Structure 1
Amino acid sequence: MAKAFILGVTASFFFAFTFILNQQMNISSGSWLWSSTLRYIFMLPILFIIVIIKNELFEVLKDIAKKPIQWLTWSTIGFGLFYAPLCFASAYGASWLVAGTWQLTIVAGGLMSPLFFTSIETNNGTCKIRNKLPKKSLLMSSIILLGIFLMQFEEAKNTTFLKTLLGIVPVIAAAFAYPLGNRKMMEVCNNKFSTFQRVFGMTLCSMPFWIILASYASISAGLPSKGQILQSLIVAIFSGIIATILFFKATDMVSNDTHKLAVIESTQSGEVIFTLLGGVFIFHDKIPTFIGLIGAFLVVVGMILNSLNKS
């Protein structure tokens, strides 16, 4: 359990690079269009090599060929309409603020539960039952919402209403797009593929979206700088590959114990803490106000309670 916990916390550390470096790229006048596009362009060859080594490539390609519309649609929503808005928001809010607001995805996931079904085997065959709203979980999530409100309210005092909206609305859109796209893809895959197979397939099928975005970026913002290319590569490796491997390794180690699994899932609240510390101490971001810190604390507490409630 101790090893799994350490792996979970380490994963949240690497996930935090997404928020920290996205903000730094914006500060350095790097276009958010390139920040979002380059991550997935870099991830594709890395994931390709991984699935080749694991001999898992052709199964995914065959499934994509059978269901191209579903793969393209839900991959674009789950990856494209998740990460592009998140990068856009980074241009209008501090890294820790975006990271904290992003935890809305926990609430969004609960609210969308009725859109999905659970398959149950009966004497008359397989029966699909619509999932219910997790009321207790959503009640716990209200703590997260309170924390986000405090963070955003405090920051709104120092900026315009429009800039506040531009920092919030895209994150809300991303918070719903990510679980929607990923859960729909899990239904399409029907548990046939490993995590790497599914992530590779979704990365590949979201490429048309990224190519369109890259084309627009080259016209509107020109080519990315060497610094932005390097930072995007770091985000792709640290957040897209290393953090994912560590987190799923941690959950695999405790998969037979729901309480321990909930504890490991709660370690992802570390994203907010590591993003705050990294932004302030490494890149000298402005230290949040006392109210802002209370808001961030409530987000972390809400995430932990929400995860423990699942057990």
Structure 2
Amino acid sequence: MDNNSYKALVLGLLASLFFAITFIVNRLMSLGGGSWIWSASLRFFWMLPFFLLIVLSRRNFGALWVEMKKNKLKWILWSTVGFGVFYAPLTFAAAYSPSWLVASTWQFTIVAGILLAPLIHRSGRPTEGSLLPSLLFSAIIICGIVVMQLNEAESLTLDHMALGTLPVLLAACAYPLGNRKTMMFTGGRLDVYQRILGMLIGSLPFWLLLSGYDLLVEHSLPGKEQYIQTLIVALTSGVVATSLFFLATDKVRHDEKSLAMVEATQSTEVMFALMGEMVLLNAPIPSNYAMGGMVLIIVGMVLHSTKRKR
């Protein structure tokens, strides 16, 4: 593994640590009776001023605005997919599943990124090497995730499994799709902070419509605790984790194998989420199934990180 790929790997692992906070806090908000719509929308409303200040302080907003005017529809479409269709289903699922199950199911994004690659690169642009090893290593991680769920899933009803799983599978496909599509049509002309701000602006119509529905139709307003909790998620997951993850994928955007490796780092969110639940929610010590699943996840991660380019 070259130095650039190694740096991307480390950044991906750090991002997964901060991403794990999302699953725990979303579950806390759901248990507290908070609307999943406000849990999703407020995070992105909080993120917008932070990234706007970052880009303005770097004097990069003008270049971003020029790029956005050239591809208005693409920015709206893929930002909505990458941020809206990604995060809204995650907060919805938190109402029906514990954070460990949402975090576990979310790991389908590891394989989704690989399976979506042929659809993303419809022009037939060749990628570096075969993706088969990456797919096999990702399959080991997915097996570990399934093993982790075997014991706990017995206590959940079929309805809760469906409502807590299917939306997350949709989110797992939307996130890498939106991320990669914006990387493609910006062509490296924007830095990470510009691209995130562009996606925040592009997805703003989606969040305004969603929160407007909850406000005008459901007559729902967020409580004080939900404002604070979504701010925590916005800072840790939205600002820190998203910046780290986008920086990692930008570093290896021309190498599908390294991209798959970076996306595979998100598997460690399961372990971080479990540890967070044990500390913050007094969750019991993981079962033998969970420990065995963690071992498989670690093995898959090691294989991803040590494979060599042909």
**CA displacement, residues 141-162 of structure 1 (integer Å, 9 cap, x when unaligned):** 1112212222333232101111
Letter of the 1:14 partner, please give it: F
Q: Distance in 2 between matches of 1:180 and 1:247?
A: 14
Count of residue pairs the alignment pairs up: 302
How far 1:171 moved relative to its partner?
A: 1.1
Q: Distance in 1 between matches of 2:249 and 2:182?
A: 20
1:172 aligned onto 2:176? no
Instruction: For 1:49-60, list aligned pairs within 5 A.
Output: 49-60=53-64
Q: Distance in 1 between matches of 2:50 and 2:133?
A: 40
How far 1:264 moved relative to its partner?
A: 7.8
Q: 1:7 to 1:303 in 2, by over 3 A?
A: closer
Q: Distance in 1 between matches of 2:178 and 2:251?
A: 26
**2:307 alignment partner, SS class:** helix
Paired residues of 2:20 and 2:270 also in contact (CA < 8 A): yes
1:31 aligned onto 2:49? no
How far 1:50 moved relative to its partner?
A: 0.4
1:160 aligned onto 2:157? yes
Q: Which moved more, 1:20-29 or 1:2-11?
A: 2-11
Instruction: For 1:122-133, list aligned pairs within 5 A.
Output: 128-129=125-126
Q: 1:232 to 1:167 in 2, by over 3 A?
A: same
Instruction: Specify the alignment match of 1:243 in structure 2.
Output: 241
1:15 aligned onto 2:19? yes
Instruction: Specify the alignment match of 1:151 in structure 2.
Output: 148
Q: 1:2 to 1:81 in 2, by over 3 A?
A: closer
**2:208 alignment partner, SS class:** helix
Instruction: For 1:33-182, list aligned pairs within 5 A.
Output: 33-117=37-121, 128-129=125-126, 134-182=131-179
Paired residues of 1:272 and 1:300 also in contact (CA < 8 A): no
Instruction: Specify the alignment match of 2:283 in structure 1.
Output: 285
How far 1:271 moved relative to its partner?
A: 2.2
Q: Distance in 1 between matches of 2:258 and 2:202?
A: 34
How far 1:172 moved relative to its partner?
A: 0.9
Q: 1:233 to 1:153 in 2, by over 3 A?
A: same
How far 1:163 moved relative to its partner?
A: 0.7
Paired residues of 1:114 and 1:132 also in contact (CA < 8 A): no
Letter of the 2:236 partner, please give it: F
How far 1:61 moved relative to its partner?
A: 1.3
Q: 1:45 to 1:184 in 2, by over 3 A?
A: same
| Aligned partner (choices 278, 303, 306) of residue 305 of structure 1 | 303
Q: Distance in 1 between matches of 2:98 and 2:92?
A: 12
Q: Distance in 1 between matches of 2:101 and 2:298?
A: 13
1:207 aligned onto 2:198? no
Q: Distance in 2 between matches of 1:177 and 1:2?
A: 26
Paired residues of 1:103 and 1:299 also in contact (CA < 8 A): no
**1:41 alignment partner, SS class:** helix
Instruction: Specify the alignment match of 1:124 in structure 2.
Output: none
What do you get for the CA RMSD once the two structures are aligned? 3.3
**1:206 alignment partner, SS class:** helix
Q: 1:191 to 1:139 in 2, by over 3 A?
A: same
Q: 1:206 to 1:250 in 2, by over 3 A?
A: closer
Percent identical pairs in the alignment equals 46
Q: 1:28 to 1:297 in 2, by over 3 A?
A: farther
Q: 1:212 to 1:241 in 2, by over 3 A?
A: same
TM-score normalized by the length of structure 1: 0.85
**Gapped regions of structure 2 (runs ≥ 5):** none
Letter of the 2:208 partner, please give it: I
